[in-house]
Amino acid sequence: KVAKKKAARKRSSSTERLEGPVLWSFKAGTEAAFGIYIDEHLCWVGQEAGFVYALTHDGKISRHYKLPQGVMCMVMDERWLYAGCNDGNVYDLRSERPYVAYHIDKSVQIYWMDLFQGNLAVSDDDAYLTVMDFEGERLWKKGGRGSSGWMIRCDADGLYHGHDEQVIKYDWGGKQLWKAKTRGSVLFGWQEQHAAYAGTTFGIDVIDKQSGKRLAFCELSGGVPANAASPDGRLIFAGSDDMIYAFDSKGKELWRLGTGGCGTPLSMQYFDGKLYFVTGRGFLGCMDLDKDAIADALRGEVPKPKRYTAPKQQRATTVSAKLSTATADEGVVVECFYEGSTLRVRPVSDGYDASWHVQFPRNLREDGKRFVVEELVAATQGGFYRALGKISELDE
């Protein structure tokens, strides 16, 4: 823990805006950063120039990718991490190089996406919600009577689509279950187990996921381009105008503090007692939510944050990076084949059901070609496999 007396810097004037206890920040570039994902091992950030960085929790770069176009969002689905980009592709980031997992028509402007058990849901600028299966084949498409579909979140029970001044819940068959009106236009969305959180031009609507009823409203004077909540829903966070706001579950404001010069949050995530955020100035920041740290910040005392910056000269792994080769005993062998006019992938190694297809990178598929996959995982719902980890060309 930071020694407060040693590291704190006193505010020079009580009239100045109070800054939050930002422990560290990473400057990923000059472009805005929208993508973020945090777990116990790595802190991920993706920005508009297409650069993706994975940092350890002490600020060291573990992975560095360069995607063809800007990253709009990053989402986790079970053990798979994906980045949605402006080139219409969704990239799998859980290997030594990025792979094209899904392709969306270039005419579609992705605003946000989410995944659940391999099914992809995409919300776009025309307020359409498109749902695809693990092969990227469309299951259904709804909406379209509006604009700016900034919110889509999924769980086992359904999909929560926010655009204009409403959030609509669909079941996985595409049937509308409820529609909730929001106070202001939807700018962002979050979910926890029992509630969906729609950040709007006036605050955050907290909506019961079963009934669609408003549970609380967190009021702000400005719009909310990013919001999040703690897993238990007891703390709700909003980013607006270079500030982070905290509310309780009833919508009462607890505090508001600056981002330590990082800029306005465009996406955020609560993890293990800290709030991580990415900003319009290209920063990934980490704010301490410990009660003592917040109390000190409200008195004008905050630790001096550690500052990290992406190196100007560093080789990034790209989608076109050459694959290594491996023998059949180094993993699971899969092969590409045509089923009618569609190029698919199936397992070849013993112990796997050859009638099941494999969710496999679209940019690697070539009729008759065989690959060695580090791990082949049966989908939670059954019926297909998902490739995980390193992929190599089979050395035959």
The string over 115-128, giving b where at least 16 C-beta atoms fall within 10 Å of a residue's C-beta and e elsewhere, is bbebbbbbbbebbb
Q: Which tokens is 277 given?
A: 């955020």
- CA dist., res. 318 & res. 80, Å (int): 18
- CA dist., res. 282 & res. 279, Å (int): 5
- Domain definitions of the chain by residue range: 21-317, 322-394
The closest of 16, 24, 23, 25 to 299, measured between CA atoms, is: 16
356 by Cβ neighbours in 10 Å (0-12 / 13-18 / 19+) ranks as middle
pLDDT at 95: 85
Is the Cβ–Cβ distance between 90 and 108 less than 8 Å?
no
The closest of 22, 19, 44 to 33, measured between CA atoms, is: 44
pLDDT at 8: 39
pLDDT at 9: 43
- Coil, strand or helix: which one is 223? coil
Chain length of the chain = 396
Query: How confident is the prediction along the chain (396 residues), in pLDDT tens digits per residue?
Result: 333 333 334 443 444 689 999 999 999 999 999 999 999 999 999 999 999 999 999 889 999 999 999 999 999 999 999 999 988 899 999 888 999 999 987 777 788 999 999 999 999 889 999 999 999 999 999 988 888 899 999 999 999 999 999 999 999 999 999 999 999 999 999 999 999 999 999 999 999 999 999 999 999 999 999 999 999 999 999 999 999 999 999 999 999 999 999 999 999 999 999 999 999 999 999 999 999 999 999 999 999 999 999 988 777 888 888 899 999 999 999 999 999 999 999 999 999 999 999 999 999 999 999 999 999 999 999 999 999 999 999 997
| Fold held by 21-317 | Methylamine Dehydrogenase; Chain H (2.130.10)
pLDDT at 4: 34
pTM above 0.85, yes or no: yes
Q: How many CB atoms lie within 10 A of CB 144?
A: 14
- CA dist., res. 164 & res. 57, Å (int): 37
- Coil, strand or helix: which one is 395? coil
pLDDT at 94: 87
* DSSP labels, 272-295: TTEEEEEETTSEEEEEE--HHHHH
Is the Cβ–Cβ distance between 24 and 303 less than 8 Å?
no
- CA dist., res. 291 & res. 355, Å (int): 55
